[in-house]
Amino acid sequence: MILTVACAGAFALGVYAVLVRREIIGILAGAELMLGAAAVQLLVAGSEGFAAGASSFALILLVVAAAEAVVGLALIVTAYRRAKRSRIEEFGEVSG
Protein backbone atom coordinates (compact mmCIF):
# COMPACT_ATOMS: atom_id res chain seq x y z
CA MET A 1 0.00 0.00 0.00
CA ILE A 2 2.67 2.48 1.07
CA LEU A 3 4.82 1.57 -1.95
CA THR A 4 1.88 2.12 -4.30
CA VAL A 5 1.32 5.61 -2.91
CA ALA A 6 5.06 6.36 -3.11
CA CYS A 7 5.17 5.15 -6.72
CA ALA A 8 2.11 7.24 -7.62
CA GLY A 9 3.78 10.25 -6.01
CA ALA A 10 7.08 9.68 -7.79
CA PHE A 11 5.32 9.21 -11.14
CA ALA A 12 3.29 12.40 -10.63
CA LEU A 13 6.46 14.32 -9.68
CA GLY A 14 8.09 12.97 -12.86
CA VAL A 15 5.19 14.27 -14.93
CA TYR A 16 5.47 17.62 -13.14
CA ALA A 17 9.20 17.78 -13.90
CA VAL A 18 8.57 17.02 -17.59
CA LEU A 19 5.95 19.78 -17.73
CA VAL A 20 7.83 22.56 -15.90
CA ARG A 21 11.53 21.99 -16.53
CA ARG A 22 13.14 24.22 -19.16
CA GLU A 23 16.49 22.44 -19.36
CA ILE A 24 16.23 19.25 -21.41
CA ILE A 25 18.31 17.34 -18.90
CA GLY A 26 15.69 18.09 -16.24
CA ILE A 27 13.01 16.71 -18.54
CA LEU A 28 15.07 13.55 -19.02
CA ALA A 29 15.39 13.23 -15.22
CA GLY A 30 11.60 13.50 -15.00
CA ALA A 31 11.26 10.64 -17.50
CA GLU A 32 13.63 8.58 -15.37
CA LEU A 33 11.40 9.22 -12.35
CA MET A 34 8.39 7.92 -14.24
CA LEU A 35 10.17 4.78 -15.46
CA GLY A 36 11.59 3.98 -12.00
CA ALA A 37 8.18 4.41 -10.37
CA ALA A 38 6.60 2.18 -13.04
CA ALA A 39 9.20 -0.55 -12.45
CA VAL A 40 8.54 -0.61 -8.69
CA GLN A 41 4.77 -0.60 -9.24
CA LEU A 42 5.15 -3.51 -11.68
CA LEU A 43 6.89 -5.49 -8.96
CA VAL A 44 4.26 -4.53 -6.37
CA ALA A 45 1.45 -5.62 -8.67
CA GLY A 46 3.13 -8.93 -9.48
CA SER A 47 4.30 -9.74 -5.98
CA GLU A 48 1.27 -11.95 -5.29
CA GLY A 49 1.83 -15.14 -7.28
CA PHE A 50 3.68 -13.70 -10.28
CA ALA A 51 6.90 -12.52 -8.66
CA ALA A 52 9.37 -14.11 -11.10
CA GLY A 53 7.46 -12.83 -14.14
CA ALA A 54 7.16 -9.35 -12.65
CA SER A 55 10.89 -9.30 -11.87
CA SER A 56 11.68 -10.36 -15.43
CA PHE A 57 9.58 -7.64 -16.99
CA ALA A 58 10.89 -5.06 -14.54
CA LEU A 59 14.41 -6.07 -15.64
CA ILE A 60 13.44 -5.50 -19.27
CA LEU A 61 11.95 -2.15 -18.26
CA LEU A 62 15.33 -1.24 -16.71
CA VAL A 63 17.03 -2.09 -20.02
CA VAL A 64 14.57 0.09 -21.95
CA ALA A 65 15.01 2.97 -19.48
CA ALA A 66 18.82 2.73 -19.66
CA ALA A 67 18.74 2.78 -23.49
CA GLU A 68 16.41 5.79 -23.40
CA ALA A 69 18.68 7.64 -20.99
CA VAL A 70 21.82 6.99 -23.02
CA VAL A 71 20.29 8.06 -26.33
CA GLY A 72 18.71 11.11 -24.69
CA LEU A 73 21.99 12.21 -23.12
CA ALA A 74 23.82 11.72 -26.42
CA LEU A 75 21.24 13.94 -28.13
CA ILE A 76 21.55 16.60 -25.42
CA VAL A 77 25.35 16.72 -25.50
CA THR A 78 25.48 16.70 -29.31
CA ALA A 79 22.88 19.47 -29.59
CA TYR A 80 24.86 21.56 -27.13
CA ARG A 81 28.19 20.93 -28.86
CA ARG A 82 26.82 21.82 -32.29
CA ALA A 83 24.45 24.67 -31.54
CA LYS A 84 25.06 25.65 -27.88
CA ARG A 85 21.42 24.95 -27.10
CA SER A 86 20.18 23.14 -23.99
CA ARG A 87 16.81 24.71 -23.22
CA ILE A 88 13.58 23.39 -24.61
CA GLU A 89 12.49 26.81 -26.01
CA GLU A 90 15.59 26.93 -28.19
CA PHE A 91 14.38 23.99 -30.26
CA GLY A 92 11.44 25.84 -31.83
CA GLU A 93 12.06 24.45 -35.30
CA VAL A 94 11.02 20.95 -34.24
CA SER A 95 7.65 22.07 -32.83
CA GLY A 96 4.52 21.07 -34.71
Partner 1 sequence: MSAHDLAVASAAALVLAGAAGTALARSATRLVLSLGAFLLGVALCFLALGSPLLAAAQVFVYIGGVLVLVLFALMVVGRGDGESPRVESRHDAGAALVALGLFVVLAIVTPKGPSAVAPPEMVSPAAVADVLLGSGIVAFELAGVLLLAALLAVLVIVKGGGER
Among the listed residues 28, 20, 36, the one whose alpha carbon sits nearest the alpha carbon of residue 77: 28
User: Residue 14 burial (CB < 10 Å; 0-12/13-18/19+)?
Assistant: buried
CB of 93 to partner 1, least distance (A): 13
Residue count of the chain = 96
CB of 30 to partner 1, least distance (A): 7
CB of 83 to partner 1, least distance (A): 10
CB closer to partner 1, 49 vs 96: 49
CB closer to partner 1, 45 vs 91: 45
CB 27 within 8 A of CB 73: no
Give the number of other CB atoms < 10 A from CB of residue 89.
8
Residue numbers of the site for partner 1 (CB under 8 A)?
A: 1-17, 19-23, 25-26, 28-30, 32-33, 36-37, 39-41, 43-45, 47-48, 51-53, 55-60, 62-64, 66-71, 73-78, 80-82, 86-87
CB 24 within 8 A of CB 4: no
CB closer to partner 1, 70 vs 91: 70
